[in-house]
Chain A
């Protein structure tokens, strides 16, 4: 058993210098001032000034730390600043996008916008009523198709085949299915119905089929997670009362998991309601109102936005502004759905009776 040959060093003193606690804030303030001055001198845009301020701050604080503290502390400060910067960079697009949507689209929204269609509308602003109805109908039908299949698959995975190889494979493939590009789903629906109903058929239900393809994997996974959370004690209590398995699932397990399942459904709807590509291919577009999912092209909000902006015709301003208005409506619908999903969770949870 050897002993250490060299005694521990006679103690580096702890007292190295440190930057004051307010150092990052001070550096930030100075950078902003410096950047504003330079920017005004060279008449740069606000974006340019912001970028300059960030750069000055990064380099300045790191160098300051390197001089006063040591290299490792400087590196730590640099990385910390970079991480906060990346946070800022991630927020800028969202802020900018929402600003554009609200400023350009907010002024569009009025009673006429929401209740008129584009039928016989030329060179004047119309409405998006037909697009809203189309979106609601197509998404509703998609939900009707995908919820039973998704939920029952989840039931199969959790209640009937848990742990088996079939279950692992289904689960694996469902996960892979979440990655299907939406346009491929649209092409599939188009190919399917071209074969069945004749080439080039475009109608609302085709879009529902495509969207349900996108919803199903999401529903299966989220419902599966919710069903797994139901404690096995509950099932066993039901069996012990002589209730058959299928009734137990329908009357006990699913209602207990209902809150989470509804949240999952709402989130899946929010996810697909903004999908454009498949609807572009199989639902087409029309200026008129169409209540039938089975015949004829059907307008939808995303496709409306797309065509209005990219093919605005003779007075581009009118349609392009309408596109922003429709975009704002779409964003609001998605946000409301997200909020509803959270509320549904709370509302449908089994009452605790306190």
Chain B
């Protein structure tokens, strides 16, 4: 065995390690700085909105009055999206994990990935040119026959570009996210619990109800919140599909032409023609959106973190 003459801790080596280590640490801190930067810059550029006059605020007296209907619209569209997407996603996830033959699991997964890959602007195109007109006739029927239900009151819009349609397009965009997460969770349900249910004489659905769904409860909640976060921030699909009513409407009527706009869609639609002050207002509304989605995502991840250590 030859003797090794090592230059322990030679200055050159230490330098390399030092430089590299600090480089990576700097990269990590950059992420934090960027996140803080987003909040800071939006606040700085959005601050003038607080003093804006009503001519820049679409006629509202102050910024709060301007942004409140937008927040309402954002929440309404996202709520519609989640109400449609959540049951569908759970159905698809259960189909893949427990109801479909094994061979179909991978192809179905590819199709769901395809759904996720389509850009939002293309969904918007499809929404305006296809889904809206198709739904227009349905809305007509609903308005004629079920118009006594408050949701369906008012004159139905025949090109179908209502907040309900926008919500449906959002639901399709959010579905892949929720499906992917919940599918993973359902697959990981312990075999032992599933077999316990079956051995008691449970049908397949009863087994799912007894063993799979309770196990995946927290995962389903956090997946839904992640989907919600996505729906809150989605811009183009809503901007293109929605036929926006005048002046910040707050209404639950789903079939008519007077639709509330969302924060994101409002920014996209009015930014290019906005004056400098109006742009400040839009940036301020973007800050509001940032805070809302940050809170939702923070909550979703916190739920995952809390239950992850416990469930196994």
Contact = CB atoms under 8 A, between A and B. Distances in A.
Whether chain A touches chain B in the assembled complex (some CB pair under 8 Å)? yes
Interface string A122-160: 000000000000000000000000001111110111011
B94 interface: yes
Interface string A226-268: 0000000000000000101111011000000000000000000
Interface stretch (A84-92, A111-119, A346-354): A84-92
B290 A192 contact: no
Given A184-B289, A281-B271, A152 B27 contact: yes
A175 to B, nearest CB: 5
Given A179-B233, A179-B293, A184 B42 contact: yes
A343 interface: no
A94 B131 CA distance: 12
9 contacts: A90-B88, A90-B179, A188-B38, A188-B41, A192-B37, A244-B17, A245-B21, A276-B235, A338-B113
Nearest to A89: B88
A48 to B, nearest CB: 9
A286 B243 CA distance: 26
Interface of A: 45, 47, 72-73, 75-76, 79-80, 82-87, 89-91, 93-94, 96-97, 100-101, 104, 148-153, 155-157, 159-161, 166, 170, 172-185, 187-188, 190-192, 194-195, 199-200, 213, 216-217, 220, 242, 244-247, 249-250, 270, 273-277, 280-281, 284, 302, 305-306, 309-310, 320, 323-324, 327, 330-331, 334-335, 338
Contacts of B129: 100, 104, 309, 320
Interface of B: 4, 6, 13, 16-17, 19-21, 23-28, 30-32, 34-35, 37-38, 41-42, 44-46, 87-88, 90-92, 94-95, 99-100, 108, 111-115, 117-126, 128-131, 134, 137, 172, 175, 179, 203-206, 226, 229-230, 232-236, 240, 264, 267-268, 271-272, 276, 279, 282-283, 286, 289-290, 293-294, 296-298, 301, 305
B283 A83 contact: no
Contact of B45 (A85, A182, A195): A195
A274 B293 CA distance: 21
A100 B126 CA distance: 7
Contact of B34 (A152, A213, A323): A213
Contact of B301 (A85, A155, A176): A176
Contact of B122 (A80, A101, A187): A101
A37 B135 CA distance: 23
A318 B34 CA distance: 42
B41 A192 contact: yes
B205 A90 contact: no
Contacts of A281: 267-268, 271
Q: Interface on chain A toward B: helix, strand, loop, or mixed SS?
A: helix
A101 B123 CA distance: 10
A217 B27 CA distance: 12
A277 B236 contact: yes
B95 A86 contact: yes
B169 to A, nearest CB: 8
Contacts of B100: 87
Contacts of A184: 38, 42, 233, 286, 289-290, 293
Contacts of A302: 119, 121, 236
A183 B125 contact: no
B235 A82 contact: no
A324 B283 CA distance: 31
Contacts of A247: 16
Contacts of B13: 244
Nearest to B240: A310
A274 B120 contact: yes
A87 B121 contact: no
A174 B31 contact: yes
Nearest to B34: A213
A177 B268 contact: no
A159 B124 CA distance: 43
Given A188-B42, A216-B31, A274-B121, A94 B99 contact: no
B228 to A, nearest CB: 10
Contact of B172 (A93, A178, A195): A93
B42 A191 contact: yes
A249 B24 CA distance: 11
Given A179-B229, A184-B289, A172 B305 contact: yes
A199 to B, nearest CB: 6
Q: Which of A101, A245, A246 counts the most B-chain CB atoms under 10 A from its CB?
A: A246
Contact of B117 (A190, A284, A338): A338
B6 A149 contact: no
B264 A277 contact: yes
Q: Most chain-A CB neighbours within 10 Å: which of B46, B236, B298?
A: B236
B23 to A, nearest CB: 6
Given A149-B31, A187-B282, 20 more contacts: A76-B204, A86-B88, A87-B95, A161-B28, A178-B297, A179-B296, A184-B42, A184-B286, A184-B293, A190-B283, A191-B44, A192-B37, A244-B16, A274-B118, A277-B268, A280-B271, A305-B121, A306-B121, A323-B125, A327-B125
A174 B282 CA distance: 26
B226 A195 contact: no
B27 A331 contact: no
Minimum-distance CB pairs A-B, first 8: A274-B119, A181-B233, A86-B91, A179-B297, A152-B27, A246-B20, A156-B24, A76-B203
B276 A199 contact: yes
Nearest to A94: B115
A311 B44 CA distance: 33
A84 B113 contact: no
Contacts of B88: 86, 89-90
A274 B122 contact: yes
A280 B282 CA distance: 14
A223 to B, nearest CB: 11
A99 to B, nearest CB: 9
A245 B17 contact: yes
A220 B298 CA distance: 18
A275 B268 CA distance: 12
